[in-house]
Structure 1
Amino acid sequence: MTEQQRLSPGDQAPAFTLPDSEGRPVSLSDYLGKSVVVYFYPAAGTPGCTKQACDFRDNLGDLAGSGYEVVGISPDKPEKLAKFVAAEGLNFPLLSDVDKTVLTAWGAFGEKQNYGRTVQGVIRSTFLVGPDGTIVKAMYNVRATGHVAKLLRELPA
């Protein structure tokens, strides 16, 4: 297995500007001065990714109450993201990283284990980014189910 870049607390979050589900550009710099959860997931509309997105949707009030906004990123095209947002009533931006440059920069794309085989793909990952744009918490290989509840328990005070 090749070693891929991983982010750690204190690292500067890699900058990005990506299209949302409506094709509008969204940048990490839009969130400077705010805390944001940036999460990476493999594919809109799949069972695990739907469960995870709906968990974020259903807990957005608690996250906002703790001072966090949420942004999801996948390699899906904006059209697919728009259908996913509409189908699930998602209330936070989903961004399209078709060429996987942002996924790679954040260490969320590379070799992973899938049913006992080593494959290239999206590594389900979640990051807390502080108001100054630095990584507060980096979590790789997270589970789709129960992850948001765990995240809420572990939010820095």
Structure 2
Amino acid sequence: MNAALRTTLAVAVLALALPAAAALKPGERAPDFRAQAYLAGKPFTFDLAKARRSGPVVVYFFPAAHTPGCNLEAHLFSEAIDDFRKAGATVVGLSAGNTEQLADFSKETEHCGGRFPVAADPGAKIAKSYDALLGGRADRSDRTSYVVTKDGRIAAVHSDLNPSLHVKSMLDAVKALGLRPAK
């Protein structure tokens, strides 16, 4: 392998290994959005403003359905969904990639298992408003998670291409809010 190719590969690996820098910071206003979503394969419109009325919402962006890291992240959120509910939070995943596969992705047990919705973000417009674009690409969401409070503010953010710590980070942030589920 020549030196130029080795350098290019090293830069690419380093870029993927480093956490992304999300622009929205705790305390900033989270953009409200409405998006075509699926829960257990059934379509509906997810409305962040409406969801916030019940408590905080974990909005997690992922690059594409049916890819290894995104499959793992969805599965981990699915396993922890009862803990999020006990802490009073709702979870929604958003992706600009493979949006035509989200209905199936939402119901497959090895992924979301019908336990939380995933929403389509064609053209990554919502991801852009959250500064959650993968490598600055205009068509793909990054792996960035936010806790959005009932009053529409960012309470926490976790941005890292490694899917393994998003759930713990977001659950810890929701629990730190000290809320209980609405009855």
Q: Tell me if TM exceeds 0.5.
A: yes
Q: 1:74 to 1:136 in 2, by over 3 A?
A: same
Structure of larger gyration radius: 2
- Name structure 2 gaps, 5 residues minimum: 1-20, 179-183
**Partner residue, 2:81:** 60
Shift in Å at residue 65 of structure 1?
Answer: 0.8
**Partner residue, 1:39:** 60
Selected match of 1:148 from 163, 167, 174: 167
Distance 2:165 2:26 in 1: 22
Corresponding position: 1:96 with 2:116 = no
Contact 1:12 1:135 (C-alpha < 8 Å) held by counterparts: yes
Q: 1:139 to 1:149 in 2, by over 3 A?
A: closer
Distance 1:147 1:82 in 2: 22
Which letter maps to 2:94?
A: I
Shift in Å at residue 142 of structure 1?
Answer: 5.0
Distance 2:135 2:64 in 1: 16
Q: Give me the identity figure in percent.
A: 30
Which letter maps to 1:29?
A: A
Range moving further from structure 2, 16-25 or 39-48: 16-25
Which letter maps to 2:71?
A: T
After TM superposition, the structure 1 = structure 2 runs for residues 63-142 of structure 1, keeping only pairs within 5 Å, are 63-76=84-97, 78-88=99-109, 89-111=113-135, 121-142=140-161
TM-score computed with the length of structure 1 as normaliser: 0.84
Structure with greater strand share of residues: 1
Shift in Å at residue 53 of structure 1?
Answer: 0.4
Structure with greater helix share of residues: 2
**Partner residue, 2:3:** none
Runs of 4+ in 1 over 2 A off after TM superposition: 21-24, 76-79, 119-122, 149-155
Q: What is the RMSD of the two structures over their aligned residues, measured on CA atoms?
A: 2.1
Q: How many residues align?
A: 148
**Partner residue, 1:27:** 47
Distance 2:64 2:129 in 1: 18
Shift in Å at residue 90 of structure 1?
Answer: 3.1
TM-score computed with the length of structure 2 as normaliser: 0.73
Shift in Å at residue 31 of structure 1?
Answer: 1.6
